[in-house]
Amino acid sequence: MKIKKRRNVKSNMFLNIVLCSVFLLLFLLFLFVPKIYLKGDSKVTVNINSKYEDKGIETNFLNEKEKKKIKIINNVNTSKKGTYEIKYIYKNNLYTYEVKRTIIVKDLSAPEIILNGNKTEYYCPNGKYEEAGYKAYDNVDGDITDKVEVTKDKDKIVYKVKDSSNNKSVVTRNLKEKDDEKPTITLNGSTTVFLPLNESYVEEGATATDNCDSEITNNIDITNNIDTSKVGDYEVKYKVKDKGNNESLITRKVKVRKDLEPNTIYLTFDDGPRDGTTDVILDVLKEKGVKATFFVTNNGSDELIKRIVDEGHSIGIHTASHKYDIIYASVDNYFNDLELVKQRIYNLTGVETNLIRFPGGSSNTISRKYSEGIMSTLTEEVMNRGYQYYDWNIESGDSSFAMNERKLYNSVTSSLSHDKYNVILMHDTKTYTRDALSAIIDYAYSNGYKFSAITSNDMLIRQKVNN
List, for residues 182-216, the tens digit of each pLDDT value.
Answer: 999 999 999 999 999 999 999 999 999 999 988 89
Residue 32 has pLDDT above 70, yes or no: no
* CB contact set of 29 (below 8 Å; sequence gap of 6+): none
Identical topology for domains 36-106 and 112-177: yes
* CB contact set of 355 (below 8 Å; sequence gap of 6+): 293, 295, 314, 315, 316, 317, 387, 388, 389, 390, 454, 455, 456
In the chain, where the domains are located: 1-30, 36-106, 112-177, 184-257, 264-451
Indicate the pLDDT class of residue 66, thresholds 50, 70 and 90. confident
Task: Report d(CA 170, CA 172) in Å as an integer.
Answer: 7
Q: Mean of the per-residue pLDDT values for the chain?
A: 92
Q: Which residues pair with 163 in a beta bridge?
A: none
Residue 59 has pLDDT above 90, yes or no: no
Q: In this structure, which topology does domain 264-451 adopt according to CATH?
A: TIM Barrel (3.20.20)
Specify the CATH number for 36-106; select among 3.40.190.10, 1.10.10.10, 3.20.20.30, 2.60.40.10: 2.60.40.10
- Tell me the average pLDDT across 373-389: 97
* CB contact set of 366 (below 8 Å; sequence gap of 6+): 324, 328, 360
CA distances from 370 to 74, 323, 332, 337 (A): 68, 11, 13, 16
Residue 22 has pLDDT above 90, yes or no: no
Residue 177 has pLDDT above 60, yes or no: yes
Of all helices (H) and strands (E), which one includes residue 293? strand 293-296
- The pLDDT score that the predictor gives to residue 435 is 97
- The pLDDT score that the predictor gives to residue 153 is 84
Q: Give 296-326 pLDDT, tens digit per residue.
A: 999 999 999 999 999 999 999 999 999 999 9
- The pLDDT score that the predictor gives to residue 67 is 80
- The pLDDT score that the predictor gives to residue 68 is 81
Task: Report d(CA 70, CA 346) in Å as an integer.
Answer: 90
Residue 112 has pLDDT above 80, yes or no: yes
Looking at residue 258, the DSSP 8-state letter turns out to be: B
CA distances from 326 to 333, 343, 367 (A): 7, 19, 10
- The pLDDT score that the predictor gives to residue 6 is 55
- Alpha-carbon Rg for the chain, nearest whole angstrom, is 48
- The pLDDT score that the predictor gives to residue 14 is 66
> Would you say domain 112-177 falls under CATH 3.40.50.150?
no
Amino acid, single-letter form, for residue 311: E
Task: Report d(CA 331, CA 316) in Å as an integer.
Answer: 19
% of the chain with per-residue pLDDT over 90: 82
Cα pseudo-dihedral 277, 282, 285, 286, rounded to 10: -140
Q: Note if the pTM is more than 0.75.
A: no
- Tell me the average pLDDT across 270-278: 97
- The pLDDT score that the predictor gives to residue 233 is 97
What class is the 184-257 domain? Answer: mainly beta
- The pLDDT score that the predictor gives to residue 7 is 57
* CB contact set of 64 (below 8 Å; sequence gap of 6+): none
- The pLDDT score that the predictor gives to residue 238 is 98
Of all helices (H) and strands (E), which one includes residue 415? helix 405-415
Q: Give 412-465 pLDDT, tens digit per residue.
A: 999 999 999 999 999 999 999 999 999 999 999 999 999 999 999 999 999 999
Number of residues written out for the chain = 467
Amino acid, single-letter form, for residue 32: F
Phi, psi of 79 (to 5 degrees): -90, 0
* CB contact set of 443 (below 8 Å; sequence gap of 6+): 409, 413
